[in-house]
Amino acid sequence: MNYDLIIIGGGPGGYSCALRAVQYGLKTALIEKDLLGGTCLNRGCIPTKTLLFAAGLLAHMKDGLTYGVAAEGVHPDYDALRKRCADVTGQLRNGLTKLLKQRKIDIYAGTGRVTAEGEVTVTGEDGDTVLTAGDIVLATGSVPAVPPIPGADLPGVYTSDTILSDLPELSRLVIIGGGVIGTEFAEVYSSLGTEVTIIEAMPRILPPMSADLARHLVADFRKKGVKVIAKASVTEIAQAEGGLTVRYSLGDKPAEVQADGVLIATGRRAGVAGLTPFTFEEERRRVVINDKCQTSVPHIYAIGDITAGFPQLAHTAEAQGKIAAAAIAGRDCGIRLDLIPSVVYTRPELASIGVSEDEAKASGKPYQVARAMMGANAKSLIAGEAGYMKLIADGEGRLIGAEFQCEEASNLVSEATLAIASGMSASQFVSIVRPHPSVEEAMGETAEGLLVFSK
């Protein structure tokens, strides 16, 4: 069968690319070896956020008297949690499948491999099917990266994939890795009543985000009983009576912690092995692309977690998928990949966009920072969430960065992204009337702290 475009991988990048491609009139095939929706929908973003919502609900109910509601006997039901995750992911996956079929996108179930120039072989239950196309998009995502720690294959040791599929009930959980995945699972399990310890090799958790956000999260975790051990290297996971022992080095000092389960959350590895017979330009085992998502091989594009230089996020993949589809159709969709918001769905949420305060300082250029503590925000106080908000402006008063630790941070960061992309000044940002009471109104109040520096 001949197509204009073949996409290997049906995750957020792949299906977004397919949906945009057919809008441009391209005959499109989408290949997926597992479940449509990819890691994000089935083993990542969606089930994790479903659990985080339930965990937050449980925490609020346990603390109900603070809000004037008395609740007794509130506890997690793991069977119900598993069912809820399955129901949410199933409903979204079914909706996605229907949408793809409505748009006349041909879906092939099986493993896709580029076998020659313009040729893809799909290996499925019924054998091999050969497809041809003028252009091919690789959107095969990533898999959990497991470092060579002795004992990493023991029962009770999980990756982000397996802990979501099993959702074990644990009294003590050790998380190796303090990135986004590790901190979100720490939030979930601590809210469910588990004793959680995070072991991070770097000087602090959340290395890609600002030191301020990491510091505030550690303070919040401490209040919730989550222990964070930074600058620590795990040396071994060993079987112990009644559970597991995680041994680590803290400087020159050996130490250990006991657990019923261990989650290895040390990042994700690009899934490109055996994908094509071609050699791509790579960086740290991820494919290098240009601004149109083209690889170094003609007519082959790459998007999502396999691409070098971009954060491994679902919305990154979606944006790249639309860019690739437009490029193949000879168009420009105008999406900017230099402004990709980052979010951590702890309670309260963390989010950032653009230039951080540390980056602004390191640049040597004039800049100013304004901050607001959310304890003075009525909506945050009502919800029992504290945190802070920060806006960064350049020497001309234009907004260049923002970060949030507050309720609804995942929504607020989009307003900041729009302001930065539009080149708005602090005075223009303040001119917007925001509703009261709302968490959002704190953005205007924070920007007022920059007015004296803007033109």
Active site residues: 436
Residue ranges of alpha helices (H) inside 260-394 are 314-328, 357-363, 378-383
- The one-letter amino acid code at 138 reads L
Q: Which of the 8 DSSP states describes residue 372?
A: E
Q: How many residues does the chain have?
A: 455
Secondary structure of residue 243 in the 3-state scheme: strand
The structure tokens 């702290």 sit at 449
What's the CA gap between 325 and 331, in Å, rounded?
8
Bin 68: left if φ > 0, else alpha if -120 < ψ < 50, else beta: left
- b/e per residue 52-75 (b: at least 16 CB within 10 A): bebbbebbbeeeeeeeeeeeeeee
- The one-letter amino acid code at 297 reads V
- The one-letter amino acid code at 394 reads D
DSSP-based helix, strand, coil % in the chain, nearest 5 = 35, 30, 35
Q: How far is CA 341 from CA 47, 207, 215, 305, in A?
A: 21, 15, 19, 16
Secondary structure of residue 445 in the 3-state scheme: helix
Q: And the tokens for 145? A: 């990266």
Cβ proximity of 324 and 137 under 8 Å = yes
Q: And the tokens for 440? A: 């959002």
Rounded to a whole number, what is the largest CA-CA distance in the chain?
A: 69
Cβ proximity of 170 and 148 under 8 Å = no
Which among 181, 135, 124 has a CA at the least distance from the CA of 28?
135
Cβ neighbors of 166 (< 8 A, separation 6 or more) are: 158
Q: What are phi and psi of 41, to 5 degrees?
A: -75, -40
Cβ proximity of 59 and 52 under 8 Å = no
**Other CB atoms within 10 Å distance of the CB of residue 373:** 14
The structure tokens 């209040």 sit at 223
Q: And the tokens for 242? A: 């009644």
